[in-house]
Structures are given as structure tokens and as C-alpha cells.
Amino acid sequence: MNGVFITFEGTEGSGKSTQIALLEERLRGRGRGVRLLREPGGTPIGEEIRHTLKHSPHNRAMTGEAELLLMNASRAQLVRELIRPALAAGEVVLCDRFYDSTVAYQGYGRGLDLTEVNRIIDFAVGETRPNLTLLLHVPPSISETRRKIRQRQTEPARDRFEEAERAFFDRVEQGYRAILAAEPQRIKWIDATREIPVISGEIWQWVEPWVPAVMGG
């Protein structure tokens, strides 16, 4: 049985975690081995990098270039340590964010050169590319409200990304639209303002053709 690599994308507060958990349950219920991962992070090395990127008290001075390289250091480790072996074992890999986040956040959000960004992504992932990417979309105003609620709940643990200003998230949103336009076969735009079961139903419609073996399982 072939492994399948599915990634979830979207801005803050788009409900990715809820939907990933629902999809995982559905796949397991049909007898598929599922590997749940997140970026940045997912491996012990990656989780240390995640802390540096998001929560470290020393990260306020981090440059866009350093951020780009750290994201891809975490990714290079995750691809080789976990994603490739899981796919080789026939598992369904569900990853909360992958390289489209880098294009959207570091490319469009931070304004780094897109050719350089893509070159570094290529080095980090090689041939390991998602089969399907689900892009959960909520408008920037909803995303901002949810982000602020989360910031209040998690205080005093700060998150450097959640501190960014509205203009940054508007550029990230633009980035996601550009990515979608470039690869409509792989990337599916999901309106995530709807009820949770409606969203999970649409996600299943996109995923099901990739996991035909589960139907007999």
C-alpha cells in the first residue's frame, strides 16, 4: 500500500487542529495507519527549533533570513527522520503546515525573495512533496479575533508570530492566494467559516480518492 502525504495550511485561527484530528479519526476508523506531524517541529530537534522560533525570550531580534533557514532546518529533519519512513511504510502522513507556509509567511509575509525561498525549500525537502494540500480559509478579520483570544489565553507564554501586525497577515493571505493559483491540482481551498461537520465533510471528499484501500478495510 502506498503512503499518502497530506498537508494542512491556513492562517492563525482557521481551525486546522480540529480538522486534522477529525480526519485522523476517520482514517484510523477505516484501518489506515496515520502519522500526525506539525511544522515547525515534529521531531525532538524540530521542537527545539520551534521553541526558538516562537517562544524563546531571545527571538525578538530574529531576521527574516534566519527564520527562513530555521523553518527549513526543522523541515529537513522531519522529512528524513519521520515523513519518508512513514510514507515508505504505507502510512497516511498528516502534517499541520509544510512548505507552503514558508512561501506565504517568509516569502510574502516577510518579503523575502521568492526564488531564494523556493531554492531553500527544494534543498530541505528534495522529492518529498505533498500529494494533497488542504488550505483552510477564514477572512483576516476572523483570524485576527481568534489570534487575540488565543494570545490572552496563553499569556504569559508569548508567540512571536502571533505578535505580528495586521499588514503582515494580509500579505500572508495574499501569498496563499498566489500559491493556490499556481497549483490548483494539489491545493484545495476550503471555506473554513462554515460549521465543523460541513468542513470535515468537504475535506473527506478530497481525501477519499487518495486512500482507496481504506474502503475495503
Footprint of ligand TMP (CB under 6 A): 38-40, 71, 97, 101-102, 105-106, 161
**Residue 38: left (phi > 0), alpha (psi -120 to 50), or beta?**
beta
The single-letter code of the amino acid at 158 is R
Nearest CB to ligand TMP, comparing residues 59 and 131: 59
Least distance between ligand TMP and beta carbon 208 (Å): 26
Least distance between ligand TMP and beta carbon 177 (Å): 17
Nearest CB to ligand TMP, comparing residues 161 and 189: 161
Nearest CB to ligand TMP, comparing residues 39 and 91: 39
Least distance between ligand TMP and beta carbon 47 (Å): 11
Least distance between ligand TMP and beta carbon 90 (Å): 25
Least distance between ligand TMP and beta carbon 71 (Å): 4
Q: How many CB atoms lie within 10 A of CB 70?
A: 18
Nearest CB to ligand TMP, comparing residues 102 and 128: 102
Least distance between ligand TMP and beta carbon 217 (Å): 30
Q: How far is CA 138 from CA 10, 112, 144, 176, in A?
A: 8, 24, 10, 12
CA 20, 21, 23: angle at the middle one, nearest 5?
65
The grid coordinates of residue 136 equal 483552510
Backbone angles phi, psi at 156, to 5 degrees: -90, 5
- Per the CB < 8 A criterion, the answer to whether 112 and 168 are in contact is no
Nearest CB to ligand TMP, comparing residues 97 and 137: 97
- Per the CB < 8 A criterion, the answer to whether 188 and 133 are in contact is yes
Write out the H or E segment, with its range, that includes residue 103: none
Nearest CB to ligand TMP, comparing residues 19 and 102: 102
